[in-house]
Amino acid sequence: MYRRSVIEDEEHRIRLMKAMEEEFGRGRPDYFLRVIEEEQSLVLRLHAVCILAQVGGQESVPTLADVLPNDSDPLVRHEAPFSLGQIGYASAAPPLERAHQSDPDPIVRHEAAVALGSIRSQTSRTALQGALADEDEIARNSAGASLFNLDFLRKYDGGSTARDRAPRPLSPGTVSLSAVGEG
């Protein structure tokens, strides 16, 4: 299932990581989309998914949503909901719900549940309640934690939360790739 044709080629990875660093500074989401679609290296595709969310913002949601059902690698599919949760757009809720309900890999279902809680879509409550019956304990626990988060945010009367005050997405050129986290 894992694509290994280029993953061991360190020269290729270093060269492309340098190019990705430059393109991040230019704020070019199309470049990262091309890496996701064409690159064979798992490492580079993981980075490209994460960076696309930061560079593309809301416009990256459809592309990241497309990674969920279509990428052959569960780690890349896991990175898509992580990134969608980080940028926090409610438009990501439907594909995240589908991923949580149907992805064969528990790590993806777990991260989709976490992302649903993170983006605070109250409309996802039904999907998360259904996820409490997931066969995987971590995915179930993630759904429960996300439901708690949704309940807290619905009842919280203290104004904005720390998450509200956190800047998202990052402005291109303000951070290097080494500072962009992975899930």
Q: What residue spans define the domains of the chain?
A: 10-157
Q: What is the pTM of this model?
A: 0.79
Cβ within 8 Å of residue 67, ≥6 positions away: 36, 49, 76, 77, 79, 80
pLDDT in tens, 18-43: 999 999 989 888 899 999 999 988 89
Q: State the Cα–Cα distance between residues 131 and 149, nearest whole angstrom.
A: 15
Q: Region of 149 please: left (phi>0), alpha (psi -120 to 50) or beta.
A: alpha
Of 120 and 45, the one with more pLDDT: 45
Mean pLDDT, residues 171-179: 46
Residue bearing tokens 């500074």: 25
In the chain, pLDDT over 90 holds for what percent of residues?
56
Residue 171, pLDDT > 60, answer no
Structure tokens of 99? 């991923």
pLDDT tens digit string along 74-106? 999 999 999 999 998 999 999 999 999 999 999
Cα–Cα nearest to 88, from 142, 163, 19, 35? 163
Length of the chain: 183
- pLDDT score at 165: 53
Mind spelling out the 3-state secondary structure of the chain?
CCCCCCCCCHHHHHHHHHHHHHHHHHCCHHHHHHHHHHCCCHHHHHHHHHHHHHHHHHHHHHHHHHHHHHCCCHHHHHHHHHHHHHHCCHHHHHHHHHHHHHCCCHHHHHHHHHHHHHHCCHHHHHHHHHHCCCCCHHHHHHHHHHHHHHHHHHHCCCCCCHHHHCCCCCCCCCCCHHHCCCC
Query: Mean pLDDT throughout 140-151?
Result: 93
Contact 98, 113 (CB under 8 A): no
CATH architecture for residues 10-157: Alpha Horseshoe (1.25)
Q: Residue 156 pLDDT > 80, yes or no?
A: no
